[in-house]
Structure 1
Amino acid sequence: MSSDPWKDLASSLQRLPAAYYAQHALHVDVGSIHAPGSPAALECEEEPYAGVWGETPTRDATTDLMLPVTAALDHLSALSTLLTTSGIIYAPLTVARTVLEISVQVWYRLEPGLSPEERAIRNVNVRLKSLWEQSQVPIPGASEESKIRLVSRRRMDEIVLGARRQNLTVHGRSDGRRPPWVGAELKGTGALASECVSSESPALGRMFWRLYSATTHGQAHGLMMSLTPVASGSGAPEIPGIGVGMVELSARDAAIQCAGAPLACLAMLERLFAHLGWDETELRKAKIGLLHTWDRISQLPPVSGP
């Protein structure tokens, strides 16, 4: 613990990527991302949909997680940097939103107890959503049926056809107004945040998600949190015409408002480590340090993490 609360918040965040990358490097060096006997290893022994969605759809359901995990940790590191950058007010919340959104989706895909079939289907639904969104991207100067759109829709059709051949229920179409999906529809970020961020206070996760989204989208109720009334003639900085001025974000404010990001990221990593059979010693140490630091600086009653 230092005398600078901003540095304490930032350094506590950096311990999560450090714990992850240490284990990742260790397992990559021995040639397998998961440990022998882990849930992931046992699932990979079964490939019930081999040849339907590639040769190893169950294994892919685990390996496909590595990229979003990296993205979540990259943004967590960016949040750490922002917390030690003076004059920043809104950016930490927009970056916190990205951390939370990616983390809860990965957390959902890592749900313990899923069968190899269920995990493969969830991963396929994530792919369908990505392909559908890619097919909606306008290409400047290109025809409506651009090559990228055609390839995306053809790949969606292949996934849907494979599901139907397995007698799985398929909803929607590749050229519809929303992505097609197989079986149960993917949950939205708000619902997942309620489950992921705090098991004891489900409303907490949804509150963070709405707060971050409001700020990211420039909505008044999000932006106004960083404004304060300015008395006439006080000489304080004022936004012309509305009688309010910007307030510097305090370390306590940051610890309260940004907490949803590290809590979601921690929950994601705990599920990931358990699924892959990784040594959790350093992750547990990082968790204890993070929760202690953010509780101390927020000056709020301790909130149970994931």
Structure 2
Amino acid sequence: MDHLDSLAVLFKSPGGITASHTLARAALDIAIGPWFLLEPGIGGRERVRRYMNLRLQSLKEQTQLETGHSDTAIREHAEGRIAQIVDTARVHGFDVRRERDRYKPPHLGAQMPSTTSLAPEIIAPGVPVLGALFWRLGSAVAHGQQHGLTMFFEPVDQPVQPVHGDAAAQMQASSKDTALRCGGAPLAAIGMLERLYTQYGWPADGLKTAVTGVISTWQSVAEVRPPHVPDTFLAGGGAPHHR
């Protein structure tokens, strides 16, 4: 939610044109973890397995910290926690894999699906290309790749000024294009919040109002079809899957 608040700040500022896309990509990425953990009907054991795989992934990253003397304690602590999780998992009958890999974390059963494979599911399972598109466009901008940055530049329809040399280009960023390219952020947040509210049985009236407002505004700016709130959501079934 902090990322979404920051995205709102960028939308209202004169700068942050490319940074808004980077932040939208991060919001999509962050929402996927809890969304994956909160999948309905998977049972307690599977939920524990998924959580521990995410925990092992994080701990493995900590073991790679090599920037100073104090990192030795952090690394040793992380390695100790990994060993405890692996040992306890075996006691409880989990299949531990890739335990001694130098670079990749051990995992219980199947490893955590990649963000690129989960992005289509959280955004629009019926149109898988959409989630992948949001993710890849945001990643291209976040990593400064040429095909990502050139989305924001168009040739200037005028003679090249000597002072500018060959850089006869100007940054372009319409509200419509920004809404379309950054749409994965609110959709992912809505998908995650839907599962969160359902899992804990929280009243969804406030969420319902917020979702309707966000979707209506976003679609209006993006100039796409008018929003529709499914009857199941209005009946209290959780946040809508607007696509």
Question: What is the TM-score with the length of structure 1 in the denominator?
Answer: 0.71
CA distance in 1, matches of 2:208, 2:100: 43
| Number of the residue aligned with 2:151 | 225
1:93 partner amino acid: H
Residues 230 and 243 in structure 1, CA contact (< 8 A), matched pair in contact too: yes
> Is 2:176 aligned against 1:255?
no
Residues 160 and 168 in structure 2, CA contact (< 8 A), matched pair in contact too: no
- 1:243 is aligned, of 163, 168, 177, to 168
Q: Give 1:301 deviation, angstroms.
A: 3.3
Residues 199 and 305 in structure 1, CA contact (< 8 A), matched pair in contact too: no
> Is 2:200 aligned against 1:280?
no
> Is 2:91 aligned against 1:165?
yes
CA distance in 2, matches of 1:257, 1:210: 10
Structure 1 segments unaligned to the other structure (5+ residues): 1-72
Residues 153 and 175 in structure 1, CA contact (< 8 A), matched pair in contact too: no
How much is the aligned-residue C-alpha RMSD, in angstroms? 2.1
1:263 partner amino acid: L
CA distance in 2, matches of 1:191, 1:142: 36
Residues 105 and 192 in structure 1, CA contact (< 8 A), matched pair in contact too: no
CA distance in 1, matches of 2:23, 2:57: 22
| Number of the residue aligned with 1:125 | 53
Q: Give 1:142 deviation, angstroms.
A: 6.0
Q: Give 1:254 deviation, angstroms.
A: 1.5
Q: Give 1:164 deviation, angstroms.
A: 1.4
Q: Percent identity?
A: 38
Deviating more after overlay: 265-274 vs 131-140: 131-140
Structure 2 segments unaligned to the other structure (5+ residues): 228-240
> Is 2:139 aligned against 1:213?
yes
| Number of the residue aligned with 1:83 | 11
| Number of the residue aligned with 2:74 | 148
> Is 2:190 aligned against 1:266?
yes
| Number of the residue aligned with 1:19 | none
1:168 partner amino acid: F
Deviating runs (4+, > 4 A) in structure 1?
none
> Is 2:242 aligned against 1:305?
yes
Q: Give 1:266 deviation, angstroms.
A: 0.6
CA distance in 2, matches of 1:227, 1:170: 49
Q: Give 1:167 deviation, angstroms.
A: 2.4
